[in-house]
Structure 1
Amino acid sequence: MSPAELIAMPPEQPDQPLWLILSGAYVGQELAIELGQLPPSMIPVGHSRLYEMQLDAIGPGQRVYLALPAQYQPPIEDLRRLRDRGVQIVQMPEGLTLGEAVVYAFNYIGVSDHPVRILHGDTFVRDIPEAIDTIAVASSSDDYQWADVEVKDGLVTKLHTASAGANGGDRLVATGYFACSSCSLLLRSIVLSHGDFIAGLQEYNRQRPLQASSVEQWLDFGHIQTFFQSRRSASTARAFNDVRIGQHVVRKSSASNAQKIRAETRWLADAPPALLPFCSRVIDSGEGPDGPFYETEYEYMLTLSELYLFGSIGRTGWTRVVNACADFLQTCASLESGAMDNTTLRLLTNNMFGRLERFARETGFDIEAPTALDGSPLPSLLAIAEQVQARIDLETPRPQRAMHGDFCFSNIFYNARARRVRVIDPRGFAEEGVFSHYGDSRYDMAKLAHSAIGQYDLIIGGRYHCERQSPTGFKLEFENTPGRLWLKDAFGEITVQGQRLACDEIQAIMTGLFLSMLPLHSDRPDRQQAFIANALRLFKERS
């Protein structure tokens, strides 16, 4: 189905409750510096976009419209997701006030006197009030230009928008959710108020009193400060670690991965001085009831994974990111331990074969059978692993240089103001049980390549389509954009110690990483299939 067909999807079941998510303009300039030009509902929150959280809160069985700027082209994967959840897009012209946007959207939809529910595109309310003719309100001490609400006996007596800077102390504000029993009365009230949405609500309230419903779980993503605060509140932990996010720190602990936690702690806390500007700062560490732990300062930044999957920054912004990643890798490469070794990559290739065999035992996949990708015949997974190993120099001892060990997009924050990366979750050892800051620079380069070139984050983010055409044959398509295609080449030009990120050896190591991770995702057979297909793609491109 084409993007035009997805956008033009006709509404179904007109008797359902009608929702409008208002996201017909772009985020403000401060947020655009961090994210690029995005409508508010499309901003990243962890491994998804805000609209997905909003739809989860709205719940199934609702008739939902999403207003987006007419000139904005949603990625095809988002169009599919919106279609699958029954959401119809309303394309909005530029330059409308909020009130004018409401009038335009409901006239476009063709609503008469139907009850309607409106949610601002930059707002998330988990406990959405069920009552009609109500406004969701919350207390706030922030000094933004939100609509202040005055209440008596549970009913709204006054709505007004105060200028930013004119407020002091706690205030009761409209959170961005409004439910009205009469759409036609709402539209008439806005028109009578010359397109002013808040004044229109005040006029509506004069004729049909509005309740003020207090909500506890309100997140505002519309301002730079509230965006990062709300993002912190919405953060989730990885499955194999116990991660607790507080107001100021992130606490990471694990009883089952005690060695990993201790190694990460030492790597970050005792990093060479030249690396400290790039490292997340350890606040506390020790042994707790749930195993070893360490606490780092919470980073009010975006990961490269979020920017890559959901951001819209242009070439200038991404060029700065690429340069920042190169700066970190080159700084690491400048720090030598004095030892010569090749343990890191020998362990990688040994793991590759061992994990392939484990994957075969656990799933019954025949790793010795010929494979195919998009109809093209290819060797077996075992034969590909052998050819990958042959492309890697495992004999020449290499100087051991500072190594992060998991330098991929999800472990890299980017500070747009400092134009510097900040890393988390280092490996902390070159071989099992032996702590070290040092290892093989090629491994860090391959980990970065598996995000920037290998499309790892698109698989984790579910932004791909993989079809199993036979027991060992696959078809794979990614949600590619011209920007991502350019970005592959830009990252590929990063050069460390005379070796490019896109060179044959680094690409071989990267392919080996995808083969090695197969049994580690046993809870997601769909991802395992995508990793196989992707390894076939990477091998095919270099054959």
Structure 2
Amino acid sequence: MEKISKRTRSFNSLILNHSKGIVTKKSDNKEKIKQELLWYLNLPAGLKKYSPKLIDYENSKTNVGYSLELCSYPTLADLFVNLSLDLKSWEKVIGELFEIINLFKKYKKNLPYISYRYMYYEKIIERLNELKKEKYWKDLLNEKYIYINKKKYKNINLILEKIKKTVDLLFDKNEMSFVHGDLCLSNILYDKKKKVFKFIDPRGSFGEISNYGDIKYDIAKLRHSFHGFYDFIMNDLFEIEEKGKNFDFIIFVKKNHLKIADLLDREVIKRGYDLRKISIIESLLFLSMVPLHRESFRRQKAMFLSGIKLINEAIF
């Protein structure tokens, strides 16, 4: 029996069994893995083809985990970073992703305002408070302004009140539906020949354990990959030089990456979504993920700078 075990983050492990065509996921963070499992168990029949088949699972007090069919397709993140598809193909891929999002929207559920308030404001406060436990972040967060590539930006403390007010802007019952919850490109497997999408590693919550949330959140997750270049950051394809509160920050993208990002924005607008709202959520994603990536101080700084730049551009 051929088995390969690997770490996906500090708290996740995958066991790949190629001979049986199964991948098993377990985690030290039992609550997170339970939420993912419940997402698969409660997946509507009309959406099952966009997920690997659930083969087996365990949900006990001592152990939580699940096994899926092994889909050996590359992720859209790999295809995007490496420019493995031409622009025309990316235009089709993005269009197809929004068709799937349209299917998500057929499954409706009203969500309480407090879920939005938590996801788009209170969670940011929680994560910033985590960061402030470390001297570097406490000192940086206490600055009123920071400079990124010689441009002055308001730091987070000057923006929090405006972020709080955006919850009302983002709350919309027409945009509450089934969601994946972590729809970044690294969680989308894609077979180029068969044009097949498989979504993996769902979030399984939106303020509360549920398969339902704000569809704009899923779209913002796509945008933080296509436009915010999250996967470049995760692959260390960037450079930061820091002097006090002055940062030179460059992500190593090519012209075609920018063109693909523009294709996404065009599709967002074409489908009737408010690009400013999507951009606000995208910025909050970057800001809230900083304390989750203690595996790399450089990446944390890149995510923070991306979030500050984006939130200033979106709100002011």
TM-score normalised over the length of structure 1: 0.53
**Secondary structure of 1:243 counterpart:** strand
**Secondary structure of 1:361 counterpart:** coil
Q: Deviations over 1:270-319 (max 9, x none)?
A: 31112111112110001479721100011121101111122432112212
Aligned residue number for residue 398 of structure 1: 173
Contact 2:237 2:252 in 1 (8 A): yes
Aligned residue number for residue 525 of structure 1: 297
Aligned residue number for residue 10 of structure 1: none
Q: Deviations over 1:206-235 (max 9, x none)?
A: xxxxxxxxxxxxxxxxxxxxxxx9xx9697
Aligned residue number for residue 421 of structure 1: 197
Structure 2: gaps spanning 5 or more residues? none
Aligned residue number for residue 260 of structure 2: 487
CA drift of 1:373 comes to 0.8
Of 241, 249, 265, the match for 2:37: 265
Q: Does 1:279 align with 2:54?
A: no
| Separation in structure 1 between the aligned mates of residue 241 and residue 230 of structure 2, nearest angstrom | 17
Correspondence list, 1:225-236, <5 A: none
| Separation in structure 2 between the aligned mates of residue 396 and residue 410 of structure 1, nearest angstrom | 27
| Separation in structure 2 between the aligned mates of residue 368 and residue 390 of structure 1, nearest angstrom | 21
CA drift of 1:533 comes to 1.7
Of 26, 42, 48, the match for 1:253: 26
Classify 1:437/1:291 alpha carbon distance in 2 versus 1 (closer, same or farther; 3 Å): same
Of 148, 166, 177, the match for 1:373: 148
Contact 2:184 2:222 in 1 (8 A): yes
Correspondence list, 1:17-32, <5 A: none
Contact 1:468 1:475 in 2 (8 A): yes
Contact 1:303 1:412 in 2 (8 A): yes
Q: Which has the higher contact order (CA 8 A, sep 6+)?
A: 2
Aligned residue number for residue 409 of structure 1: 185
Q: Deviations over 1:115-153 (max 9, x none)?
A: xxxxxxxxxxxxxxxxxxxxxxxxxxxxxxxxxxxxxxx
Amino acid at match of 2:221: K
CA drift of 1:324 comes to 2.3
Contact 1:279 1:424 in 2 (8 A): yes
User: Highest CA radius of gyration, 1 or 2?
Assistant: 1
Q: Does 1:329 align with 2:101?
A: yes
Of 119, 129, 137, the match for 1:357: 129
Aligned residue number for residue 475 of structure 1: 248
Aligned residue number for residue 284 of structure 2: 512
| Separation in structure 1 between the aligned mates of residue 269 and residue 95 of structure 2, nearest angstrom | 12
Aligned residue number for residue 462 of structure 1: 236
Of 426, 430, 443, the match for 2:206: 430
Correspondence list, 1:67-466, <5 A: 237-247=8-18, 248-254=21-27, 256-287=28-59, 291-337=63-109, 339-348=110-119, 349-365=121-137, 366=139, 367-369=141-143, 370-393=145-168, 396-399=171-174, 400-431=176-207, 434-466=208-240
Amino acid at match of 1:473: N
**Secondary structure of 1:500 counterpart:** coil
CA drift of 1:357 comes to 2.1
| Separation in structure 2 between the aligned mates of residue 234 and residue 240 of structure 1, nearest angstrom | 13
Classify 1:522/1:460 alpha carbon distance in 2 versus 1 (closer, same or farther; 3 Å): same
CA RMSD of aligned residues (A): 2.5
**Secondary structure of 1:393 counterpart:** helix
Classify 1:244/1:290 alpha carbon distance in 2 versus 1 (closer, same or farther; 3 Å): farther
Contact 1:446 1:507 in 2 (8 A): yes
Q: Which has the higher strand share?
A: 1
Q: Which has the higher helix share?
A: 2
CA drift of 1:350 comes to 0.7
| Separation in structure 1 between the aligned mates of residue 269 and residue 101 of structure 2, nearest angstrom | 7
CA drift of 1:376 comes to 1.7
| Separation in structure 1 between the aligned mates of residue 58 and residue 157 of structure 2, nearest angstrom | 42
Classify 1:358/1:452 alpha carbon distance in 2 versus 1 (closer, same or farther; 3 Å): same
Amino acid at match of 1:526: R
Classify 1:523/1:363 alpha carbon distance in 2 versus 1 (closer, same or farther; 3 Å): farther
Contact 1:253 1:290 in 2 (8 A): no
Classify 1:280/1:508 alpha carbon distance in 2 versus 1 (closer, same or farther; 3 Å): same
CA drift of 1:320 comes to 2.2
Percent identity over the alignment is 26
Structure 1: gaps spanning 5 or more residues? 1-228
Classify 1:236/1:355 alpha carbon distance in 2 versus 1 (closer, same or farther; 3 Å): closer
Deviation larger for 363-372 or 347-356: 363-372
Q: Deviations over 1:401-455 (max 9, x none)?
A: 1011101011111122332321011111222xx4321111111111111111111
Contact 1:385 1:512 in 2 (8 A): no
**Secondary structure of 1:430 counterpart:** coil
| Separation in structure 2 between the aligned mates of residue 288 and residue 237 of structure 1, nearest angstrom | 22
Aligned pair count?
307
Q: Deviations over 1:456-502 (max 9, x none)?
A: 111001111111121x321111111111011111111234895437x
Classify 1:496/1:442 alpha carbon distance in 2 versus 1 (closer, same or farther; 3 Å): farther
Aligned residue number for residue 85 of structure 1: none
| Separation in structure 1 between the aligned mates of residue 60 and residue 16 of structure 2, nearest angstrom | 16
Amino acid at match of 1:492: D
